[in-house]
Amino acid sequence: MTAAPPRVFDRALLDLRLARALRAGFANFLLARAAEDLADRLSVVTRRFDAMLDLGTPTPLVARMLAAAKPARLIRATTIPEAADSDWETVPLADERLPFAPESLDLVVSALALQFVNDLPGALAQIRRALKPDGLFLACLIGGRSLHELRAAITEAELEIRGGASPRVAPFADVRDMGGLLQRAGFALPVADVDTLTLRYDHFFALARDLRAMGAGNALVARDPRPLTRAIALRAAEIYAARFADPDGRARATIDVIWLSGWAPHESQQKPLKPGSAQARLADALGAREDKL
């Protein structure tokens, strides 16, 4: 019997905070950039996708972009109930299970959502099964060293004032691991790359305000139920300003956006050469001398 994956995130709390952020005015500048980059990446793909899925993207921004291609079927899968839109189907997500038949989709995209999935390998395997042969998966998620400045400042402040620190910033996947996860899920031609952004803020509290406006507060299952005290927050702001500010006084915040792409296998796709099948020697191509051992 396969053990259930550990619960890292409190999904109910995440959904509650995202719904609140959407009602209050979602801070969409990162998502807008991700949607633009996603459109650029799709623009170089020559094949047509008839059945498209936008998986978990916090707002309809990506779905609207996909709708412009006028696919035969467009689905937006979301954990946040909302009124249906005439341009696409809206499908509720629950328990990280995808309610799609095998080989039913041509394209699956997701923007800035998969970093909050408890079982990312399982999610990738479900996406792979839902794709038709030669279907494409293209997604981005927050990963790498994102918000390492915030993590360091809060941890140091808590250690000073409380004598101990609890997790306040979510762990993020590393780009070096993501290609392996795509292969493990069965994708062909897997690619993982990272786009590092540096955001600049007047102060620590402006960054915290943006995170709340994205519904991205601390939702770790192992979080300390005690909120940050005013003293800890002020001390964290001091540490942030001292260690992570530019000469003009503005504070830096690193965001690593990891991009993933992979195809459902198909016989038409390029195959890697078998070992020993090369028609020319590497030494000849390089013009190098080959010494016999």
pLDDT per position as a tens digit, 10-24: 999 999 999 999 999
In this predicted structure, what is the pLDDT of residue 291? 43
User: If we measure between CA atoms, which residue out of 160, 148, 165 comes closest to residue 234?
Assistant: 160
Q: What is the pTM of this model?
A: 0.88
In this predicted structure, what is the pLDDT of residue 94? 84
Question: Taking the domains of the chain in order of start, what are their residue ranges?
Answer: 11-147+171-198+254-266
CB 279 within 8 A of CB 174: no
Per-residue pLDDT in tens (0 to 9) along the chain, 293 residues: 456 778 888 999 999 999 999 999 999 999 999 999 999 999 999 889 999 999 999 999 999 999 999 999 999 999 987 666 778 999 999 888 999 999 999 999 999 999 999 999 999 999 999 999 999 999 999 999 999 999 999 999 999 998 887 777 777 889 989 999 999 999 999 999 999 999 999 999 999 999 999 999 888 888 888 888 999 999 999 999 999 999 999 999 999 999 999 999 988 877 655 555 555 554 454 444 444 43
In this predicted structure, what is the pLDDT of residue 166? 77
In this predicted structure, what is the pLDDT of residue 288? 46
Any idea what the Cα angle at residue 47 is, between residues 42 and 49, rounded to 5°? 75
From CA 115, how far away is CA 258, in angstroms rounded?
Answer: 10
CB 142 within 8 A of CB 112: yes
User: If we measure between CA atoms, which residue out of 143, 73, 82, 58 comes closest to residue 108?
Assistant: 73
Q: What are the E-state strand segments in the chain?
A: 51-55, 73-78, 89-92, 105-111, 131-143, 188-201, 251-263
**Which CATH number does 11-147+171-198+254-266 carry?**
3.40.50.150
DSSP state, residue 79: S
